[in-house]
Structure 1
């Protein structure tokens, strides 16, 4: 695995400064900046994240960026001490607070993002590429061509979820973008590399899942014993490196 720092200087063709705010719970408000997966939308999210990190947000807990949105989590018991008695709803007060602050947000025409390129070794052997044959039939191509395409691109980590350390990455070329499986597996092995739509991801632990499995990495994406438990983070760039079964077994 190779980790290298680099700088992206992205010029937005269209700066997205339209947003919609809504509560997702009594402890969180989501600021939505779009409704489709694109680098432009996500870099707007990162620009907004940089702005919010500079604010003093009452009761602030954390910011969670996603594809086209960012969620602000806060402690309502701390927020309530800031609210006048005339205002009854905590989430409504927080929404108005953020709306007022967002009037000062000037989305950057250029945004500098220092992130990592992470090389992920993957074994695409039939033992680990459980759905490669089916995918090759779907796209009327060969398994080798799918592997070549998957390893020829640099992928952007848009967000983390649904389990600790699971990276949602893209954007896949149409030639290997594949719908989710109709029947999800009850157990997908840890380290499995999958494809769903125009996204690719890695299962950090054994879990149910409906992504098309094309290989497996020997790396641990989540280790709670480490000071930095996550191998990947939002905004990172990932390059998949094909390895043999023998190399995989040596790295496990």
Structure 2
């Protein structure tokens, strides 16, 4: 655009900063952010700051991301703190996660997401008293986590799967297929979260997550090589994300899961998100 004398707009820089975030080009992103302000006189909006927070968070520069939030010329919104909170799960920064979660709870106290993310992090760190405290807070405030729901379209019909739901007429075949597939991907290196903690019951529950049920149904009901596209109402969990990579490799299929955050395209054992979501 600069070469042909076109003036970049605010939207141009949102796309540019987002691209830098997804490709890990931290210094490039910083330069474009500064050029936007100093060279083109564009005042950063919430979307620009969110892109920069995402860029820094993905690179593990969480302290810098927090400082950027604190220097925003307007009150940070949900997107800024939610981006930082998601990065703290990813990078294991418990103290910063608590700060981000508390800010989110101040902005939107009835939103279940920060409670759930915080409880999951406490679980990962073995802080069971804190897990109980967050869950009690949810109960006291009447906040309920939405059940995981996934669906896919096949032969002009939408098939819906809910975690722990056995109402689908093919559920026995789906569970049998999942049991077989889990054995196959374990041989390939997959370790369920339940195996890491020694909780067999937890592993069984993980197998019944809605996205696993939907993908298993899709694999059972389509021809070899056909791509699978699944939609999910919540963010895909870490165990399902890991399992999908192995399933795509074993089944030689392209599996796309559109969760609440983004598209995940699993193919040959890899995901398009680069394991950051």
Q: TM class, shorter-chain normalised?
A: under 0.3
- More helix per residue: 2
Q: TM-score under structure 2 normalisation? A: 0.26
Q: TM-score under structure 1 normalisation? A: 0.28
Higher RCO, 1 or 2 (CA under 8 Å, sep at least 6)? 1
- More strand per residue: 1
